[in-house]
Chain A
Amino acid sequence: SAVISQKPSRDICQRGTSLTIQCQVDSQVTMMFWYRQQPGQSLTLIATANQGSEATYESGFVIDKFPISRPNLTFSTLTVSNMSPEDSSIYLCSALAGAGPSTDTQYFGPGTRLTVL
């Protein structure tokens, strides 16, 4: 299994500012992801955080708005840039842990609840 922590757990930010969310996994994992969950909605994949290279973004998400770093196998950051109220959401980090494709499990961090005023 993998235990994931995120910082901050919540924040209230002014529009136009940026927030960086940190994600720490207690063990080395092959893959890490960032999701967004807007109020009352399900999870939407933002990007796959690739270790040592640029993240792979899903349609509708761009690097300028959501820069991601993954310097090693246990840590990643997501920045929400130039925030607007529409960015108010819960941002969840996840990690894939297991022995292989048939046994891998995706674990989620507790999320960062962001409110943009």
Chain B
Amino acid sequence: RKEVEQDPGPFNVPEGATVAFNCTYSNSASQSFFWYRQDCRKEPKLLMSVYSSGNEDGRFTAQLNRASQYISLLIRDSKLSDSATYLCSMDTGRRALTFGSGTRLQVQP
């Protein structure tokens, strides 16, 4: 079983839609969780950190469910510029990160 699993998508949604991605993890000892955004041919950039029960930043909400070992990312009022690959990641315990395979989002006009 992979350490981190994500639905690869693609998720095709219209502008203004709400979309949610889930990510499950197998290492129950993981303490720190992150969502990164990666545009085509670019490096990953941190979107949100998820440290405890979750957090919100504008249109983006991240949730952590330790009992079920998953994290989620909710994007409200999708914009065309939200089109990207969203990578779920977590600390390995050695300060490095392990990543999911990414979920591709395409927001349609």
Give chain B's interface secondary structure class. Answer: loop
Question: Which of A33, A105, A107 touches B49 (beta carbons < 8 Å)?
Answer: A105
Give chain A's interface secondary structure class. Answer: strand
Smallest Cβ distance from B23 to chain A, in angstroms? 11
> What residue of chain A has the Cβ atom nearest to residue B98's Cβ?
A45
- In the bound complex, residues from chain B placing their C-beta under 8 Å from that of A42 are 87, 99-102
Residue B80, interface by CB 8 Å: no
Question: Which of A48, A107, A109, A110 touches B96 (beta carbons < 8 Å)?
Answer: A48
Question: Which of A102, A108, A109 touches B51 (beta carbons < 8 Å)?
Answer: A102
- In the bound complex, residues from chain A placing their C-beta under 8 Å from that of B49 are 105
Residue A41, interface by CB 8 Å: yes
The answer to whether B95 and A31 touch across the interface, beta carbons within 8 angstroms, is yes
CB < 8 Å A-B pair total:
45
Residue A43, interface by CB 8 Å: yes
CA distance A14 to B43 in the complex (A): 25
Q: Which A residues fall within an 8 A CB radius of B?
A: 31, 33, 41-45, 48, 56, 92, 94, 96, 101-102, 104-111
**Complex A-B: 10 CB contacts under 8 Å:** A33-B96, A45-B96, A45-B97, A92-B43, A101-B32, A102-B51, A104-B95, A106-B46, A106-B97, A109-B43
